[in-house]
Amino acid sequence: MSKEEKVLKKKSPRNAKWGYIFIIPFFAAYICCTLIPQLMTFYNSLFMNYRDGLTQVGPKFVGLQNFVKLFSPDNSGTIGILKYFGNTIILWLMGAIPQIVVAMLLAVFFTSYRLNIKGQQFFKTVIYMPNLIMASAFSMLFFTLFSPVGPVNQLLLGAGWVDKAVDFLNIKISVRVLISLMNFLMWFGNTTILLMAGIQGIDQSLFDAAMVDGASSTQTFFRVTLPLLRPILIYTVITAMIGGIQMFDVPQILTKGIGMPNRTSMTVVMYLNNYLTTSKNYGMAGAVSVVLFIISAALSLVVYSSLSRQYKKPARHRKY
């Protein structure tokens, strides 16, 4: 064994050790900031623990009682948490579908060297801009814009399109559209940039080959870009979904925290917030969080497996 080989053999395990040491910060942060709080949430959800005025009630172990309460129908026969999950999913889909479609189109346009768009840097900055505004400020802006005496109504009234101010914030569909619109505006820039990075990572020669073979733009997109973009797309969809399920600030501010009208724009986290803010009801809030966690995990798995299955098994019958 030469000296160099000896050194190498000796060094590699030591280097690995340093590798482990350098990833300690991430794991330490993960354990401190994510894992322990998560376990604490599970633990807390088994207790009756809240504040009545300034008096602490509990913690008293109550088993699964909080969960039973969460899933029992209220005085009008609806199971609150399911309704709010429904709201959340609807609000998310209304924002996320256009978000991903538009972002995909923009990403393809921006990366296409046949189109060769000038001033890309400028456009990229502009579409990313809404993401820099604080969501609550954005929401407050929309609240003022669309209030019965707000500028939008003044415009509509001024133009004679309506006879009476439209109460946008008290109509189910308009509230939902406004919330989705805000989420869309805030996030499509971010998604565009992620997808662009994904497309740029695809070997240019594949596009060239497709072009030489006479593939149309549509064919190139569906047969080359999309399959190769799948890992990034999965990432985008899952992160968007987790963000969507946790939707809070935009609807909270826009609907003054009550999810008007008739609680149809109340999301799960707004519901959780109701338990947590005034009474510090860690038991019930913990139970909501646990349900939220389970559902997020389940949905992520579904999305991941359904999108990656095709990726692993490319269809053989297609003729290229």
Partner 1 sequence: MKKKLTAILTASAMVAALCACGGSQPAATTAAPAETPAATEAPATEAPAAETEAAAETEAAETEAAAEESSEGKVFNIYAWNEEFKGFFEKYYKVPDGVTVNWIITPSDNGAYQQKLDEALLNQENAADDDKVDMFLAEADYILKYAGSDATQDITKIGVTDFSNTYNYTVQAASDANGVVKGVSFQCCPSALIYRRSIAEDVLGTSEPDEVQAKLDSWEKFNAVAADAKAKGYYMTPSFAETYRVFSNNCTTPWVDADNNLQFDPQIEAWMDQTDEFIKNGYTLTAGIWDDEKNAQMFADGKTMCFFGPAWYFNFCMGNAQDPEKGCSGDWAITEGPAAHFWGGTWLMAPAGTDNPTMLADIMNTFINDEEVCSALVENEAQFSNNQAVNAKFAADESYGNEFLGGQNDVAVFSAMTDNIVWENHTIYDQLLNEGLQNQMQEYYKGSVDKETALKNFYNYVNETYPAIVTPQ
Q: Which of residues 181-210 bind partner 1 (CB under 8 A)?
A: none
Which whole-number Å values give the CA distances from 12 to 4, 17, 19, 233, in the listed order? 12, 9, 10, 36
Which whole-number Å values give the CA distances from 173 to 24, 38, 90, 230, in the listed order? 48, 35, 11, 33
Residues 223 and 205: their CA atoms lie apart, in Å, by 14
CA 299 to chain CA centroid, nearest Å = 12
Nearer to partner 1, 21 or 159 (CB): 21
Least Å from the CB of residue 254 to partner 1 = 13
User: End-to-end CA distance of the chain, in Å?
Assistant: 52
Nearer to partner 1, 110 or 282 (CB): 282
Least Å from the CB of residue 258 to partner 1 = 5
Among 15, 277, 306, 310, interactor with partner 1 by CB under 8 A: 277
Tell me the three state secondary structure of residue 214.
coil
Instruction: Compose the 9-48 pattern: x for residues touching partner 1 by CB under 8 A, - for all others.
Output: ---------x--xx-xx--xx--xxx-xxx-xx--x----
Nearer to partner 1, 103 or 135 (CB): 135
Residues 96 and 244 sit within 8 Å (Cβ to Cβ): yes
Q: Which of residues 61-120 bind partner 1 (CB under 8 A)?
A: 74-76, 80
Nearer to partner 1, 37 or 201 (CB): 37
Residues 219 and 232: their CA atoms lie apart, in Å, by 20
How many chain residues interact with partner 1 (CB under 8 A)?
71
Stretch of residues binding partner 1 (CB under 8 A), selected from 3-11, 107-115, 223-231, 282-290: 282-290
* Residue 103: other Cβ atoms inside 10 A: 24
Q: Which of residues 112-171 bind partner 1 (CB under 8 A)?
A: 135-136, 144, 147-150, 165, 167, 170-171
Q: Which of residues 231-270 bind partner 1 (CB under 8 A)?
A: 243, 246-249, 256-258, 260-263, 269
Least Å from the CB of residue 222 to partner 1 = 33
Phi/psi of residue 2, nearest 5 degrees: -70, 170
Least Å from the CB of residue 177 to partner 1 = 16
| Chain length of the chain | 320
Tokens read off for 287: 């139970």
Nearer to partner 1, 107 or 276 (CB): 276
Residues 91 and 266: their CA atoms lie apart, in Å, by 10
